[in-house]
A and B are shown apart, each in its own frame.
Chain A
């Protein structure tokens, strides 16, 4: 088990480095940063001045290694737009996004697991069909549109919740629903499939034959085993949600990491964009690492892969 964790950790670190290289290259190769920063109306001399000022005239490998070396010391340079350092900006915004992601995931899990269990227990009944319907519809709606529709219903029509912002807890309700609905279907489907799998197994039959009540068998024996892969998937989904927060935060004007990334993209503030891409990737890699270790701890077959 320890060798597995160690090997897996090495891979995770290597992936982080590669993501850093790739995201750096993508941004530097998809266009001329100096021209983009200077804006369309600037003269060639201005562009050259900016190129030298931002150090973009040096060889790209030099730029990369300097950036990486600094990034390893948690120094992502200064924002092109704000006077602050990138780390300060991210430190300010990250808590909002993490809070949003955490609440969304909690909501998704609180809906997905009971629904998935009910769908598996009453397979092919109306409960199952409704659960499937919710999942299918959830996967079909574009998240930005669902977010806007929630505003129309709960803020404009019913006037229960604020339209946008991130000041009070009420501001987090709609964004969390919008973001959570995006992660819920896959969690629900996995819970259902896992429960069906476990309920058909021998040890459940033994437990029933021993005379244990149905309730006890379902919650103590079956759910406990079916839920592990769901928890692992939930970790991965949280990583996806941090990436998806760009969309939701822009709809609800929340001052989180996603909004920062989005604003920085439109302002050509590349040090910030690079750092946010890397940080979200690092979160994702960390969460998948946790998920893999969790799966491996419970299923020894996974360790040989």
Chain B
């Protein structure tokens, strides 16, 4: 902003100049939920990334002589296995760290696949309207009527559960919210002046959609993406818990709960620890998503 400073008489009092990024950081940091969510996600992401270096043991190494050692805060616990060992003597902390990788990979990949599908459908429906919209809305209604868990379970059992199968299945099933949100956002933007301007300048439809429309959907997409990521992580853990998701010996938090189920009556920590970690991750992502929604909504700016 370098407008010529023409002053008449006394110069006006200088307004405190707050750069735009400072206002942004202030708004972001002022939102406790958002900050907390971001910190939780960041800590878990770093732990997952550094798992090979910070894990105290090999997560696959079995040793039946040291099975079901309780965590360090129990009388029988030891500092060698801070969170104890499972029924096969594998270090629980190391499995948790590697399990974070599985959850995050699934969260990201599923969100990516479902995001591409849902956004494509939503933008098509919203931009072209009419018959296209009717077809997309119909597909969406059909998709919503299918029970996700049941369909995913049935298909995983036929194809055979694995990390890639879970990613593909959930990616193909969880695009509904992306489609709903981008459809209505596109409908609102379709008749905006800047779109009309681009049209009158002779811009092609793909150009308008990619260069004019999509950038304006980004904030909405980001919010849906976080919530969908949390959804995908929860569903993966459910599938793995029921035995049709990620297969052993891969460490997955849902699978850890399933494996600990037989022992939970005597040693509750076997299911409590992975469950609490899982809930914390999902909580963090949800807080981040809710915070982003508050920040990007016009009436949330205060």
Contact = CB atoms under 8 A, between A and B. Distances in A.
Nearest to A27: B154
B264 interface: yes
B157 interface: yes
Interface string A142-172: 1111001101100010000000000000000
Which 5 A-B pairs give the minimum distances between C-beta atoms?
A: A243-B147, A140-B283, A145-B275, A31-B158, A30-B158
A273 to B, nearest CB: 5
Contact of B142 (A22, A149, A261, A266): A22
Contact of B154 (A15, A26, A243, A285): A26
Contact of B147 (A31, A262, A284): A284
B142 A18 contact: yes
Given A142-B237, A281-B145, A26 B151 contact: yes
Contacts of B283: 136-137, 140
A143 B145 contact: no
B38 to A, nearest CB: 15
A145 B279 CA distance: 9
Interface string A241-255: 011101100100000
Interface string B215-248: 0000000000000001000100110011110000
Contact of A243 (B149, B244, B278): B149
Contacts of B146: 19, 22-23, 277, 281
Interface of A: 11, 14-16, 18-19, 22-23, 26-27, 30-31, 33, 36, 136-137, 139-145, 148-149, 151-152, 156, 242-244, 246-247, 250, 261-262, 265-266, 268, 273, 276-277, 280-281, 284-285, 288
Nearest to A284: B145
B264 A246 contact: no
A146 to B, nearest CB: 8
B30 to A, nearest CB: 15
Nearest to A143: B238
Interface residues of B, number: 42
Interface of B: 138, 141-142, 144-151, 153-155, 157-159, 230, 234, 237-238, 241-244, 254, 257, 261, 264-265, 268, 271-272, 275, 278-280, 282-283, 286-287, 290
A262 B264 contact: no
Contact of A247 (B138, B149, B243): B149
A36 B147 contact: no
B154 to A, nearest CB: 5
Instruction: Find the residue from B145, B244, B272 having the highest chain A CB count within 10 A.
Output: B145
Contact of A144 (B159, B238, B264, B268): B238
A148 B155 contact: no
Given A30-B159, A36-B158, A156-B265, A145 B286 contact: no
Secondary structure class of chain A's binding surface, majority of residues: helix
Contact of B153 (A15, A156, A262): A262
A22 B143 CA distance: 10
Nearest to A236: B144
Contacts of B261: 148
A261 B241 contact: no
Contacts of A285: 145
Contacts of A148: 257, 261, 264, 271, 275
A247 B257 CA distance: 13
A124 B146 CA distance: 38
Contacts of B154: 26-27, 261, 265, 273, 277
Contact of B272 (A26, A149, A281): A149
A281 B141 CA distance: 11
A261 to B, nearest CB: 6
A277 B275 contact: no
Nearest to B268: A152
B254 A142 contact: yes
Contacts of B148: 243
A142 B278 contact: yes
Contacts of A288: 144-145
Nearest to A250: B242
Given A27-B155, A145-B271, 7 more contacts: A15-B142, A19-B146, A144-B254, A152-B272, A242-B147, A265-B154, A288-B144
Instruction: Find the residue from A15, A136, A145 having the highest chain B CB count within 10 A.
Output: A145
Contacts of A22: 142, 146
A246 B242 CA distance: 10
A111 to B, nearest CB: 19
A234 to B, nearest CB: 16
B149 A265 contact: no
Instruction: Find the residue from B148, B234, B244, B278 having the highest chain A CB count within 10 A.
Output: B234
Nearest to B244: A265
Contacts of A152: 264-265, 268, 271-272
A288 to B, nearest CB: 8
B289 to A, nearest CB: 10
Contacts of B158: 27, 30-31, 33, 36
B257 A276 contact: no
B282 to A, nearest CB: 4
Contacts of A144: 237-238, 241-242, 254, 257
13 contacts: A11-B138, A18-B142, A19-B146, A136-B283, A140-B230, A141-B282, A142-B237, A142-B278, A144-B241, A261-B154, A265-B153, A266-B243, A273-B154
A11 B243 CA distance: 36
